[in-house]
Structures are given as C-alpha cells and as structure tokens.
Structure 1
Amino acid sequence: MRKLEKKEVIDAIRLSEYAFQYKIPEKDLEKKIAAYSEHEIWGDYEEGSLAAKLHLIDFETFIAGRSFAMGGVASVATYPEFRRGGRVARLLRHALVEMKNKGQTISYLHPFHIPFYRKFGFEVLSSWKKLKLNKEDFNTLPQVGGKVRRIALTNVYETLNPVYEEFAQRFNGMLVRTESWWKERVYSEGFLFAGYTNEEGNITGYVYYQVKDRSLEVEEFVCLDGEARRGLWNYLCQHDSMIEGGTILTHEGDPFPFILSNPKVKTNVEPYFMARIIDVEAFLQLYPFELNEGESLFLHIIDEQAEWNNGSFQIHSDGVKMFKGDNTNASCKHPPKRGLRCNISTLTAILTGYQNPAFLYEAGLLQGPKKDVEVLKGILSKRETNFMDFF
C-alpha cells in the first residue's frame, strides 16, 4: 500500500471508470487528471499493479457554528479479481491515521453500502428529501417587493457564497465552499443560478435549477428568510408554461411543503452522506458545548478501528480532559455508573446532530445514567444536519 505519484493518476482514473461504469471522453481527460492530481490517492497493489484505491480530499465543514477540518473519503474502488481480500479495509484504516496526522477531526464519505462503512465507525450524517411536484402545484404565494435575476457563472462565488455561508452555518455538516468548488463541482452544464434581492438591495436567497424535458429540477433552494423563499418560489412558478411538473431537492426537516396549496406531494427521504469522528479528543476540544459554570459530563468511547480514541473524556466548562489507561477497553464492557458509554459511530451521530441522544439511549446504543443523557442533550448544538454537495 502506498500513495500514488502524479504520473500514476491515470491508473486511478481507469479503475474509477471500470468500478463506477463510465468513460471519460478524450477531450475531458486532461481536466480529470488535473482534478485527481489535487487528491491524495492511496493504492493497494498486487504484483506491481493497482488493485484498489481510496482518495483523500481536504475540506472544511460547519458544525455548531464553527469550522472543522474535514477529510473527504472518495472514489473507493477495487478491481473485481481483487475484491473481498481486505484491501479496502486496509486502505480505510490507513486513511484514518493519515487524516488524524493532518489534524482533520472528522471525515465524510458517500456510501455505496451503509452497513459496510458502519463497520469502520462511519454513521449517517444527513438525509435529503426530494419533492415531486405536478404542474398544478406551482401556484404562486403572496407577492414580495424584491426581484429575482439570473446570475452568470463567473459571478456566482462573489454573489452567492456569502448567502450560502450564512445559510450553511444554520446547520451541522455543511461544506465550506471555495471559489473553485462553486465553479467546478457545484455547477453542472445546463443548470442555472438565480438570486433574490430584497428592497434594501441585499441578496437573501438563491435557487440552482434546470428546465429539461418539460420538467423543472431544483437542486438547491437556499433562503435566509420567508421573503426570499416566496420570491424565489414565485419565480419558479413563472415556468409553468414550459413544464409538466418538477422536483425540489432539500433537507429532511424543510417545512416548505406546508405552504403549498396542496402539501400532499410525493416525498422521498433517503440517507445521504456518512461521517466519522477521526480524533475524539481534538473534536471535543473544538466543539462549543453549552455548559454552565462548574457543569461536567463524562463520555466513555469505544473505537475498534482507531485505538487512540478509546478512553474516557471529561467535558467541563473549563475544557476537555482525556483519561486513558491499559484497562480502558475493559472498563467499557458494562454501563458506567457515571457518564455515558457508546461507540464512535453513535458519538458521531450525537455530535453532528443527526440523532437525538434520548432516542439512542432508548435503542441501547448509549448507556449510563439517564440523568446524564439529559445533561448531554442540554449542552449540544440544536442545529439540524444538512449536506448539499457531493464528492
């Protein structure tokens, strides 16, 4: 197992083409090589040939209103003749070490199979919700005083990223987007951006959409207030003569359907990205727990893939302290009398906000005194999880 050199990036591309069943046109090959060259690619080799690979990408993510260094795991693939030999497992365990060494306290990935990645400590981070609308659902809402204008791709970062960042910090899990990410990864050919400007001249929302085959597809519907939501929705409704229906992709908790004339629209909700805390101690140090003076809580963590996380952590108004000894794992065999015990994936679900500690306690995934569950609930960010990107 080793890191691929720049000249070997083409080998990673060919494996991706085979595993993910696509072919890069020759005219786009240089662009793909340049994109892959920005990744840290680790390969598992058999007799000098690439058998399996994994990409690591450097990101930042918003959690509890703060920016955390995040390692993106992507393009995990193996040639069929080398599958079920533990190669991906070796690559994933090595990736955990690499990300920890780079100071990345959390990692995200898009799973091909959720149960597989749960074995390595990853847990669901967010779910998306897709609304399927008929033509008659596109009824306008009360008019607003602002205006909607389409935005050229060259101006997207400067114009819309401030809106996106304010929106993103209302959630846990959103990506910190760079200018190149907006133009190279958010944008897809055929899609358009349109922004809402209020009467004070401030852009307070945008939609990212396309009209194709008489269908309106909305990939991002970002609004900082109700006025922007109504203005942008009314703009989308003006496409009624061009469409027979459409779809809106949004986050699981979005109450938008309620304000439609008929809220009973076909809705599909599915888990999307997964996350994993890489370095518990460093993550807890960064997380802005809402503790009262003198308040504290113990967390006893089990991590079968990253032994540096095994231990007990005291969260206190003065900071976080880790206790680790030779008998750490043994002390975690039974529900503790003080503090809460869980594995790394459950901890990730709690601290990202994807699941309520009370539910995890009822499910037997979080153990300890019930009063400590209430303490934990009280010191966590109340933000919903959301993730709108892909890698």
Structure 2
Amino acid sequence: MTEPKIDIRQLTREELFDSITLSEFAFQFELSPEAKEERIRQADPNQYWGYWIDGKLASKLTILDFQTWIGGREYKMGGIAGVATWPEYRRQGMVGKLLRHALRTMRENGQTISMLAPFSFPFYRRYGWESFTEYRKYEIETDKLAGVFAPGEGTVERVPLEPETVGPVYEAYAKTFNGMLKRDDTYWRERMFKPKKGTAAVYRNAAGHSRGYVFYQVRDKVFKVHELVWLDEEARSALWKFIADHDSMMERVELQAPKDDRLPFLLPNPRFKQETVPYFMARIVDVAAFAAQYPFLPGAADVFTLRVRDEHADWNDGAFQLRIGADGQAGIRRLGGDEAEALTGAGYELQLSIQTLSALLVGSAEAQWLHAIGRIAGSAEAVQALAARMPRQTAYLADFF
C-alpha cells in the first residue's frame, strides 16, 4: 500500500475557496458566491495554512497578524482562527501538527504571544494555551437605570461611524488592559462598523476632549451595546445617562464588560441578569523574547531561575535566567544543561508549565494563587519576589476573531 503524501504549507489564493468551503461545513454557515469572492479578494493567503493529504485539503488554520497590549506595551500577536478538519480526517492528530507548525511560524514572525477562541478549553490546554480572559454579560431592565447617573459637565453627541472619531479614545482605554487589540482604520471599518450596524455617541468634557463613547443599536425594544468605552468616571456616568434616556424605546440594555466591572455596585438595585463567560485563551510563543519586553515594575534588582515545561515548543522547554533591574528592565537567557544543574536550589527558583507562565504574565491569575494550587513550584519567598515585580492590569479582550 502506497504511503499517502503529506504536506503542511500555505494556501495559494486559488486554494482559498477550498478553505472557505471547509469553514462553511465546520462552522455551519453559508456564504453567497459574491460573499465568497469578496472574502477571497480581501484575504492574505500567507496567513492560511493547510494539512494536505495526496493533494487534498484535510485540515487547516489561520494565523492572523495582530498587535496587543500587555502592561501598556505593544506585542506582536498571532491570532489562531478558522481551525477545522473534514470529518473523515478527524482524530488523526492533524490539528496538533498544524498548531506546532504555527508556533514555529509565529516565532519566526516575531509574534511572541498567541490568542484563540477555543471550541474546547481542554483540547487547546494540551498544546500550551491557557484561559486568559472572561467577560461579564449583562441584561439590565430599563427601570434600574432611571435617575441613577449624572450627565457630567460636558456633552454627549451622536457622531458618524469613523475611526478618527472613536479610535483615539479606544486606544487610550485599550492600553489599560492586557490583551486588547490594536485596531487600524481597516479593522474599524471591516470588523466593527460594517458587520455591527448602529449609532455612535461620544462624550466630550467641558474642555472639549473626547473621554468616552458608546457604539450601539436599538432594535425590538433592546438597547444593544456593541462597545462602551470610558476614560474616567465622569464619562462613564454621562454615557450611562445617555443610554438611560432611551427609556421610551427600550425594555432592557444588553452589553458585555470586563470581569472587574463595577456597574452592579453603582446601581441602587444590582439584581439584574449577570453572567461570567469564559472567552479567549492565550499562550506565550517565545518565552525569552516575550519576557525581555515585559514591563516589570521598578524595585530591588532580582535574579530568578525559571524552569519551564513546554512539550510543543522546544525553544521554551528548559531553564531560563531572568534578571530584573531596579528600573524594571528585564534580561533573560536560556541556560545550558550544566548551568541549569549548577543553579538548582540557588536563589529564586520557580518551576512551571508554559500554560501557567502564560496565565501569570498576561495577568489572568496571580502568582500566589498559582503557587497555592500547585501550578508553580518553588519557595513562597521566590513567588512573593516575582509577584512584587508584576504590574496589575485586568486581562480583557473586547473583540472576536
């Protein structure tokens, strides 16, 4: 019996039709011929990777080129999307091979972190991704908003859906979280305004500075918030006053918010429908490159030995010496076998998996808690020393890909 010819490679533009057909089947949607042609026209074939058997596309994924903020610093991020396999080829390890290939590709591209929306958290945990963000989903009856919020000293104005109107406010807001996407004009137009119909309103303070906005649609008595962004409490209050003033048109407001949002505390009656939704996963692609850029806090100079387990990226699997200067600048290098052995038990030493390190550095879990549940091995003193150098920002992603 002849062995099948197996190949993992990028798709050509002509082969994007096959990728879309597989996505339609796997994700249960259907595009018109015109929509398929438009998607092919806009796509970058370099981002599409397929697992081919005897010239037939069996499995595929996409590596999207994004930038995200971690601790206020921009990181190149590889967004994994469109992972799908035809049924007759499933459970043969093809997706795992594609993911390992994607890790090497992202590393070569300088994408030191990766994110994805999982169909299964346990499945992607096997390959080093870890849960990194969740959001709060609200459904608020109109009467719970009446008379609660002050209008502020500025004005709320409905504005055209243009990137230059809301983009600067979004960027200032996004930098305060770990994991938000950097959006260019094309992203705003094609991924925000085009698929999400509605209206935008901006709050400008008394000095005329834009300090927040709401992008929304009112339909069938529901005020659907696509995005609510505010840079200070005055802007938040004014925008919620604006939302509440639609009371004659709506019965409830629906929106999602960061997991640490305090809206329930602000309302006289916080008994409305609230749901915590597990959302995206993240994974460090390149430990050395990611840590070297990380915004550690200033403090006494520290040296750590990090022993990282990563079954799917051998460049991460091993011991690293992490030096954090008094100014927070980090230097990191991988240790050779003899060096790693010699440093065993000396100074601050921590042992952890790539999943745990990812959760720790993107801010989805605190060092002391990870140590308490056995996800970090090492002394309490070492854990406390590292925790003291970690910036605290909420992990949040407002987008989907």
The answer for the alignment partner of 1:362 in structure 2 is 372
The answer for the alignment partner of 2:356 in structure 1 is 346
Change beyond 3 A, Cα 1:13–1:329: farther
One-letter identity of the residue aligned with 1:167 = Y
The answer for the alignment partner of 2:392 in structure 1 is 382
Tell me how far 1:35 sits from its aligned partner: 3.2
Q: How far, CA to CA, are the matches of 1:321 and 1:169 in structure 2?
A: 25
One-letter identity of the residue aligned with 2:331 = V
Of 34, 45, 56 in structure 1, the residue corresponding to residue 41 of structure 2 is 34
Structure 1 stretch 14-23 or stretch 252-261: which is displaced more? Answer: 252-261
The answer for the alignment partner of 1:2 in structure 2 is 9
- Equivalent residue of 1:241, what SS? coil
Q: Is the 8 A contact 1:41 1:56 kept in 2?
A: yes
The answer for the alignment partner of 1:161 in structure 2 is 167
Tell me how far 1:245 sits from its aligned partner: 1.2
Tell me how far 1:293 sits from its aligned partner: 4.1
Tell me how far 1:44 sits from its aligned partner: 0.7
The answer for the alignment partner of 1:193 in structure 2 is 200
The answer for the alignment partner of 1:206 in structure 2 is 213
Of 133, 156, 170 in structure 1, the residue corresponding to residue 176 of structure 2 is 170
Tell me how far 1:337 sits from its aligned partner: 7.4
Of 184, 194, 203 in structure 1, the residue corresponding to residue 190 of structure 2 is 184
Q: Is the 8 A contact 2:13 2:45 kept in 1?
A: no
Q: How far, CA to CA, are the matches of 2:68 and 2:302 in structure 1?
A: 28
Given the alignment of the two structures, is residue 17 of structure 1 paired with residue 24 of structure 2, yes or no? yes
Tell me how far 1:71 sits from its aligned partner: 0.7
- Equivalent residue of 1:2, what SS? strand
The answer for the alignment partner of 2:155 in structure 1 is 147
> Identity of aligned pairs, percent?
39
Q: How far, CA to CA, are the matches of 1:35 and 1:213 in structure 2?
A: 33
Counting only pairs closer than 5 Å after superposition, residues 37-186 of structure 1 correspond to structure 2 as 37=44, 40-140=47-147, 141-153=149-161, 155=162, 157-186=163-192
One-letter identity of the residue aligned with 1:283 = F
The CA RMSD over aligned residues, in Å, is 2.0
Tell me how far 1:115 sits from its aligned partner: 0.5
Give unmatched runs, 5+ long, in structure 1: none
The answer for the alignment partner of 2:273 in structure 1 is 266
CA deviation map 1:168-226 (0-9, x unaligned): 11111111111111111122242222111111111100112111211111121110011
TM-score, with structure 1 as normaliser: 0.95
- Equivalent residue of 2:127, what SS? coil
One-letter identity of the residue aligned with 1:315 = L
CA deviation map 1:236-278 (0-9, x unaligned): 1111111111212111001122112211221100111111000
Q: Is the 8 A contact 2:11 2:45 kept in 1?
A: no
Q: How far, CA to CA, are the matches of 2:238 and 2:390 in structure 1?
A: 34
Q: How far, CA to CA, are the matches of 2:254 and 2:52 in structure 1?
A: 43
Q: How far, CA to CA, are the matches of 1:211 and 1:331 in structure 2?
A: 65
Tell me how far 1:320 sits from its aligned partner: 2.0
The answer for the alignment partner of 2:289 in structure 1 is 282
Q: How far, CA to CA, are the matches of 1:263 and 1:237 in structure 2?
A: 15
CA deviation map 1:78-128 (0-9, x unaligned): 111111011100100000000001111100111110110000000112101
Tell me how far 1:295 sits from its aligned partner: 2.3
Change beyond 3 A, Cα 1:189–1:385: closer
Give unmatched runs, 5+ long, in structure 2: 1-7
Of 336, 340, 345 in structure 2, the residue corresponding to residue 325 of structure 1 is 336
Q: Is the 8 A contact 2:303 2:347 kept in 1?
A: no
